Structure 1
Amino acid sequence: MTRPNRPPIPLSEPQRRLLMQLRIEGAAPRTRLAQALGMNGASVTRLTQSLLALDLIEELETPEAVARGRPMVPLTVSGRGGWAIGATPHLGWLELVLVDFRGRPLVHDTTPFDSPDPRVFAQVVETRLQALAATHGFMRGKFLGLGVAVPGYALPGDRNRRAVVDRLAGWDDVPLADIIGDALGMPVWIENDASVAALAEYYQDGIIGRYRSVLTLFLGHGVGGGLIAERDLFLGEHGNAGEVGRLFPGHDARPSGIDLLRTLREAGIDVDSLADIDALMETHRPVIDRWTRRVIEQLEQAVLSGIVWLDPGAIILSGALPLRLLQTIAAGLDEIGRHRDENYRAALPPVLASPIGSKAVVIGAAMIPIHAVTAQHTPL
């Protein structure tokens, strides 16, 4: 059994609550934090002093706030609190991102990679980190760990063991966190790519401050999903919550990028990559429109089921498809839902299209060690 990772910065429950409140609000003075958390001023002062000493939060010194006294000086999460890495293997290349403690990407890097061996993956990650460190000097702060996004579901008994796609045969049913962590000498978290995409989407401005629970559908080469429930990544009993791909068997038409490429090729259009789709949106609109209408119909039941069971604040459509295509699908799903429930008086979640694109996966992977600092339950 793979050893679980501990939080990279051990905090008390009140410290975690205050830190999460600042992530929710963006910035807030001590008086506001005391009110929101139901604490007295002295308790908040002690907590903020300890978090300031750890460089996890910082003061925003505005002249007006300083003039009104220290309790009115806004506090915010500090990027200097640490940094983390996210990594994921693609067909023919490897993607890395480094984020600071606020979750802001510092460096985005891609490099050729075609090995099915996780040890080779670790070696390439180490080589790229050394080169990036020499160029950017990011290793001066506290390192929190590496999150690895894997295109595969967790196997019984250990969510670090995954059933993966054929091109990553060496990753199948092996203790990935131990293999990669031992090779790199660092704490490693392993998680499904669509699940970590949900984490990246949740930490975006305008989402974490507005919603406690979010359902994300990720349309990449395949189709997957992820859940944030009560501000934490919900993985389920066996680590496979959000495996919506099972609703769409691979031998049938699917709401996925691979399916769109196949549809375009069958129409006689020469296209090799999802990156080429945006340029075809106008010239081959009829084919793409037909595919889009079918995808909206396919995703309707998945969205409705998610609303019924999770009651999310929002549904986010994310993935490697062009933003305007995601926006069209999101608008179609939103319209269907509101038309179906026009006499239903409970609140319904908006369906939103994400502007992050495919980078949501690698950003989300990097957010796992950072999220573990404040999460109530540490991801394995």
Structure 2
Amino acid sequence: MQLYGQTMMASQRPSLLLTEPQKRILWQLRIAGPLPRVQLAAALGMNGASMTRLTQHLSAMGLVEELSADEVAARGRPTVPLAVSGHGGWSVGATLHLGWLELVVIDFRGLPLLHDRVPFADPDPRVFARTLDTRLRALAADHGFMRGRFLGLGVAVPGYVLGNDRNRRKVVDWLAPWNDVPLDEVLGDVLSMPVWIENDGTAAALAEYYQPQIVAYHRSVLVLFLGHGVGAGLVAERSLFPGEHGNAGEVGRLFPGNGPRPSGIDLLKTLQQAGVEITSLSEIATVMTAQHALIETWVNRVAIQLELAVFSGVVWLDPGAVVISGALPPAILQSLAARIEALSAARGQTYLAAQPRIYASSMGSAAVVIGAALAPVHAITALRGENG
């Protein structure tokens, strides 16, 4: 089937196959930013001839590019540096919310090209696929960049893996028809494109890891995502870490639903019970000034809950960074990160080893759908032995 300018197959096999040296070059450029070939060769232990040959191939594929004269002058560099190019292809991330469908298109650099939302309330995964297909066709007609190389579709799902099959999930109640069905096949058959299925917490972790301030300085990251529930994702040595059963990061199990949970919905309910007339997480920002005291009380309680989860992750994973992410206003995420960092510092007063930095996300709820879109890109560039 010809769709968006090329034939797409319902397979999780990456549409672009790279050699290990090519992948290493792309990762080094993502980590360090633009570099001249001589510095790139030195960083990777390659000779100049090999670097020239490999980067010529990557350039021909549109995956790397030389910076313009203006960009080079602005950086004051004597030689022309190479950078990851956005022209290498595009991918789509999609996820469902209660009442609407969200999608994002990113380029090969991981930068969003467009962010789209459409009303949607049908729990049938096939209807979801048909709606997404219709929307993508409309967007493809309007945006010329979508005629380039398509890399795949990532779908973020709020649910855990069943039977060691990452494509079969137990999901939230309002998505019951998605339960225990081969989602890659169901969605791929309708869309005729390669599909990656990821847990929403794992997707958020991938998006947060690809942020320049994270990927440049850290190899392993623990990400907590606060939304309708509470989830997490792990990146270990630049590789997504799913766990043996595909459920690494299911921190929601630490906080049963019969008690207060460290989630966005819990804050929404806390505000509603205090008489605040709001109905969604997106409205919390509008009441932050008026409800400052109540929100601070909630932050203090939730920080104590999350610090235990963070501490458990730190002692097992030893990450370089912890990111507090989620569908909450940035000021709340910043308050949580600062409070968790203070609690962690108090706990580790006599511990002399290096401790992870704790960051507040600047991506908000978009981390989930951007991370879903990054899944095909990550699969293409993952080094041998990594989980993509």
TM tier, smaller: over 0.9
User: In the alignment, residue 51 of structure 2 is paired with which amino acid?
Assistant: V
C-alpha contact (below 8 Å) 2:327/2:364 kept by paired residues: yes
Deviations 1:60-112 (A, max 9, x none): 1437979xxx9932000000000000000110000000000000000100001
Q: Deviations over 1:11-49 (max 9, x none)?
A: 111111111111111100111111111111111111111
The Cα shift of 1:295 comes to 0.1
RMSD: 1.7
The CA distance in 1 between the partners of 2:325 and 2:340, in whole Å, is: 14
CA contact (8 A) 2:99 2:121 kept: yes
- Match of 2:212, SS? coil
**2: CA distance, partners of 1:76 / 1:348:** 31
Q: Does structure 2 conserve the Cα–Cα contact (< 8 Å) formed by 1:56 and 1:77?
A: yes
Q: CA deviation at 1:178?
A: 0.4
Partner-residue secondary structure (3-state), 1:211: coil
Structure 1 partner of 2:223: 216
Structure 1 counterpart SS, 2:35: coil
Gaps of 5+ in 1: none
Residue 352 in structure 1 maps to residue 362 in structure 2: no
- Please state whether the residue corresponding to 2:215 is helix, strand or coil: coil
Tell me, yes or no, if structure 1 residue 104 matches structure 2 residue 111.
Answer: yes
Q: Which residues in structure 2 correspond to 1:63-212 (within 5 Å)?
A: 72-212=79-219
1:241 aligns with 2:256: no
Give the secondary structure class of the aligned counterpart of 2:16: coil
What is the percentage of aligned positions where both structures have the same residue? Answer: 62
- Residue 358 of structure 2 corresponds to residue 369 of structure 1: no
- Contact kept, 8 Å, 2:11 with 2:188, in 1: the verdict is no
Q: Aligned match of 1:253 in 253, 260, 267?
A: 260
Q: Amino acid of the residue matched to residue 139 of structure 2? A: L
Counterparts in 2 of 1:339 and 1:378: CA distance versus 1, 3 Å = closer
How far the C-alpha of 1:141 sits from its partner, in A, is 0.8
Structure 1 residues 89, 65: closer, same or farther in 2, change over 3 A? closer
What letter is aligned with 1:49? Q
Pick from 308, 314, 326: which aligns with 2:321? 314
Secondary structure of 1:72's counterpart equals coil
Partner secondary structure for residue 180 of structure 2: coil
Which amino acid in the other structure matches residue 279 of structure 1? T
8 Å CA contact retained: 1:6, 1:378: no
Contact in 2 for aligned 1:98/1:105 (Cα 8 Å): yes
Distance in structure 1 (CA, Å) of the matches to 2:353 and 2:11? 40
Instruction: Measure, in 1, the Cα distance between the counterparts of 2:90 and 2:115.
Output: 13
Deviation at 1:343, TM superposition (A): 2.6
* CA distances 1:118-137 after superposition (whole Å, capped 9, x unpaired): 10000110111111112222
CA distance change for structure 1 residues 233 and 7 in 2, over 3 Å: closer, same or farther?
Answer: same
Tell me how far apart the structure 1 counterparts of residues 62 and 184 of structure 2 sit (CA, whole Å). Answer: 28
- C-alpha distance in 1, partners of 2:369/2:304? 29
| Aligned partner (choices 264, 267, 270) of residue 274 of structure 2 | 267
The one-letter code of the counterpart of 1:14 is P
Letter in 2 for 1:155: L
Q: Distance in 2 between matches of 1:100 and 1:300?
A: 35
Q: For this pair of structures, how many residues does the alignment match?
A: 375
2:138 & 2:72 partners in 1: Cα distance?
42
- Alpha-carbon deviations, 1:278-316, whole Å to 9, x = none? 121111122111111110111111010111111111100
- What one-letter code is carried by the residue in structure 1 that aligns with 2:22? Q
Partner of 1:55: 62
Tell me if the contact between 1:274 and 1:321 (Cα under 8 Å) persists in the aligned partners: yes
Which residue of the partner structure matches residue 337 of structure 1? 344
Matched residue, 1:226? 233
CA distance in 1, matches of 2:127, 2:308: 40
- Could you tell me the TM-score, scaled by structure 1's length? 0.95
In structure 2, C-alpha distance between the alignment counterparts of 1:64 and 1:304, rounded to whole Å: 43
Contact 1:7 1:378 in 2 (8 A): no
Does the 8 Å contact 1:97/1:362 carry over to 2?
A: yes
SS of equivalent residue, structure 1 residue 308: helix
**Mapped partners of 2:71, 2:108: distance in 1:** 27
- Range 342-351 or range 25-34, more displaced: 342-351
